[in-house]
Structure 1
């Protein structure tokens, strides 16, 4: 059971939802049961049937129903685990986008960017604590039962499964919740979230290797041979954890690189052209202010109105298409692209704040003005931002 914080992109679409069946909403987000869950439910039901038959042989074919009831109980616990993540994430200012029940258990996705180590710690730790609390509740109910029957069997199974899920998720390696807890602790000590992510990611890889070694080595230490099914499940879980840890490390390094991208550094310099000017007058501004053809092309011509408010930016291709004979009679309005209202960015805006602003406020426009204290200092091209993000 994991939480995920999707990385931002310059102009991302709405968060992509997992494919499956929406069964409700929690914390404003859809609850999705993926198609892979049905495969997990089938496999787990079949695996649990022999245990039911060993304890209650009189059930006959009813053992399959009891086994399926256990699977529903297990995934109900997983769901409550994810609900806890979602509620705390929203309380810490995140936008929860989905809760999904999947082949591997479940995940909670949210956006907004964790601002402090405490945020990540609280969002992560509440999931396993929920399972441990459920385990305690099931165990006390089991102990209070006077006889061993099917309901008490389910209580015992609920206690054991929740204890395992809670304890396993507290292992200190990403992508597990314990990994996010470790990330937050290292972040708090070092002041660098990326350091925490990388450390927790590498520990996650050790955990992944340990899961497989446990399935192979423990039986030999006990004088038996490893069971094929146990080894296969351990290998699958280990591969899932290894891939998740690697992705976490990559995303952490990318996040740090993206944090260093600022609007001021990526923006092209500008020359200002008063509203109502002609194309000839705009070109003369560029000619008189900049020497050299190569350096002149680097400047954007921005049309400004009253109080130097940026109105539009000249389209260089459209300007070049205007014949010299008509430049003095062609208004800059005819060859300019208006700025989207509210799209302006400050030159010091950077990282995910910059990307989030562009995604939410650019209105699909490629060019946005960079404004400092009411003065236009540059024009930001979202294509340049995208290239910088890919390079990062």
Structure 2
């Protein structure tokens, strides 16, 4: 996203800019002035009292939403993710992070709603010691709003925090990223009839406002779930350059004692060489550099270790990205992360036999080229 579209930069946190969009200022003005006008129509509420109530609600909720986003950024930063930016908008806020491990992403997702719960509890606690007043009334409304925000954000559907939490939990249970995305998307679809039933049996469809809320909620859930399912279909179509079978360089397996001059013929025909360590079983790979080695040298002496785990030949872009800067990346030894130019993974077939190699360099070249074409200013 272009910087101008993010709003006005007001600070930097964890090295990342914090933006306020124009819509955020409009939202604050509407809440303060509009809600003050609405509640002052009560015969027991003056314009001044209404202004105090609405300002209290707006300021407390805005502070909670900002700290909500700050919590996402703080937990992500602590778990090794890079914070690109925080942007406060009409709809709340958005924190852009690089991918992290499944465990780290789960904590990042839950950190935001936890902040809203803490704000609500703090507000309810403060109400026990302050005298009844317009400020106290506004504080109660703000506390109720924070609980509602936390509950809504925890719904297990995209793009809400609860949806990302479900996705991360599925990955912690062993699912591939693409499978976790599919699970989360279908959970979001299932929530639609659940919401309709809850509104119907709860007697909440008797007013036009409640019906509008239900329609908006169902549309929101369907739009985001179908969007992710559409992305999965696109990635599965077969022409995505980051699909494993398209990205890999084909390779031939050799015994570890095979002389390099025998391997060299296959490499000269466009294949890479894969072998395994005779004692540990670790997969190794070699490219055209073996042609410069003295004839008779066993391939295992010049081959380079492949990172673990291997990548399935049918892995989609979502899954490959986990190796580049997600769960699998964060599990790599620091020595691998600090020298990605020689980093590579084996690609295995349905029988778990190595058939190719994906290099970090090839993948990042494609991603950086795509980012350049889209006008994005960050690379991996």
> TM-score w.r.t. structure 1 length?
0.59
Q: Does 1:235 align with 2:220?
A: no
* Counterpart Cα distance in 1 of 2:221 and 2:370: 37
Query: Hey, what does 1:142 align to over in structure 2?
Result: 127
Q: Measure how far apart 1:207 and its partner are.
A: 3.2
Bigger mean CA offset, 343-352 vs 29-38: 343-352
Contact 2:72 2:109 in 1 (8 A): yes
Contact 1:262 1:347 in 2 (8 A): no
Alignment of 1:1-392 (within 5 A): 16-17=2-3, 18-45=5-32, 48-49=35-36, 52-53=39-40, 57-60=44-47, 63-64=50-51, 66-111=53-98, 113-114=99-100, 116-145=101-130, 147-208=131-192, 210-211=194-195, 217=200, 221=203, 225-226=206-207, 228-251=208-231, 258-261=242-245, 263-265=247-249, 350=358, 354-359=362-367
* Counterpart Cα distance in 1 of 2:43 and 2:80: 49
Contact 1:174 1:244 in 2 (8 A): yes
Contact 1:260 1:350 in 2 (8 A): yes
1:162 match: secondary structure? helix
Q: Measure how far apart 1:253 and its partner are.
A: 5.9
Contact 2:52 2:134 in 1 (8 A): no
Aligned-residue RMSD, C-alpha: 4.0
> TM-score w.r.t. structure 2 length?
0.60
Question: Number of paired residues?
Answer: 277
2:87 match: secondary structure? strand
Segments of 4+ in structure 1 off by > 6 A? 342-345, 361-364
Q: Measure how far apart 1:28 and its partner are.
A: 1.8
* Counterpart Cα distance in 2 of 1:100 and 1:351: 34
Contact 1:100 1:108 in 2 (8 A): yes
Q: Measure how far apart 1:80 and its partner are.
A: 0.7
Higher Cα Rg, which structure: 1
Contact 2:6 2:21 in 1 (8 A): yes
Structure with greater contact order relative to length (CA < 8 Å, sep ≥ 6)? 1
* Counterpart Cα distance in 1 of 2:220 and 2:370: 37
Contact 2:249 2:358 in 1 (8 A): no
Query: Hey, what does 2:330 align to over in structure 1?
Result: none
Cα distance change, pair 218–51 in 1 and its aligned pair in 2 (3 A): farther
